Amino acid sequence: MIGWGALLSLDLSWVYPLLAHADPSSPLPSLSQAPASSLNLDDPRYVSLIKDLTQRHQFGAADLKALFGKVVLQAEIIEKFERPPELLPYYEYRRRFIKDDLVLRGQAYVQENLKLLQGIEEEFGVPKEVICSILGIETKFGHPRVEKYRAFDILNTAYALYPRRERFYREELIAYLLLCREEGIDPFSVNSSYAGAFGVPQFMPTSFRKYAVDYDKDGKRNLWTSNGDIFASVANYLKSFGWKRNGLTYLPARLSDDSPQRLKSVEVGIRKTIPLSRAAEMGIQIPLPASIQKDESVSFALYQPQEGTEALLALFENFRSITSYNYSLNYGLVVADFSEMLLKRESS
Q: Which residues are near Ca ion by CB under 5 A? A: 214, 216, 218, 220, 222, 226, 229
**Chain position whose Cβ is nearest to Ca ion:** 214
HSE at residue 342, side-chain half, CA atoms within 13 A, is 30
CB nearer to Ca ion: pick between 219 and 287: 219
Terminal CA-to-CA distance of the chain, rounded, Å?
32
Q: How far is the CB of 184 from Ca ion (least distance, A)?
A: 13
Q: Are strands 297-303 and 274-275 parallel, antiparallel or unpaired?
A: antiparallel
In angstroms, give the least distance from the CB of 348 to Ca ion.
34
Nearer to Ca ion, 52 or 216 (CB): 216
Question: What single string gives the DSSP state of each residue in 194-246?
Answer: TTS-BTTTTB-HHHHHHH---TT-SSS--TTT-HHHHHHHHHHHHHHTT--TT
Minimum Å gap between C-beta 225 and Ca ion is 10
Minimum distance, C-beta of residue 227 to Ca ion, in the bound complex (Å):
10
Q: What is the DSSP string of 148-174?
A: -EEHHHHHHHHHHH-GGGHHHHHHHHH
Residue 330: how many CA atoms within 13 Å on its side-chain side?
23
Tell me whether residue 166 or residue 214 sits nearer to Ca ion (CB atom). Answer: 214
For residue 189, the minimal CB distance to Ca ion (Å) is 17
